[in-house]
Amino acid sequence: MSMDAPGPTPGFLVWRLANKWRVAVDRALAPLGLTHAQYAVVGSLYGMGRTGERPSQRRLADHTGLEALYVSKLARSLEAAGLVGRTRDPRDPRAVQLTLTDEGRKVAERAVTVVQELVGQLLEPLGGPDAQRARVFTDELTALLGAPLDPSVPHDATHRRTP
């Protein structure tokens, strides 16, 4: 928190909410054998697959906001669990396409239901998922996620002299 602010900063609150959400999703999905990060992959593949998309690991990384290397690691573990199929993209042999297996689709459907129930609980103080306040909140979060953030120059670097 900032020493200048009378209360928690927006950044601190976003961080707290993100952590609260991650823990809640981890706990709710544990009976299905998924973590929140695995759900990001499985749930995204489920949604993308419903529109016919077979994303590459890179495309899925961009979609989820996860690092490409982490998506690759998650995809390998989900493949070992029989939930995800990984195949070479016929258009680009360097790229790996991801799809849900039949079992993966079943798990994803259950997981999506669980997470949707959590969304309802999270948004209840705003009137529920379909309430105007919840829609405004979602729009504001989307705007924040769309804002570019350049890495800051470390404080020490601003005071260094160049030779």
Q: Write down the pLDDT at residue 156.
A: 57
Q: Write down the pLDDT at residue 160.
A: 54
Predicted structure pTM score: 0.82
Tens of pLDDT, residue by residue over 98-114, are 999 999 999 999 999 99
Q: Write down the pLDDT at residue 91.
A: 84
Please list, in sequence order, all residues whose beta carbon lies within 8 angstroms of the beta carbon of residue 8, skipping any fewer than 6 positions away: 1, 16
Sign of dihedral through CA atoms 58, 62, 68, 74? negative
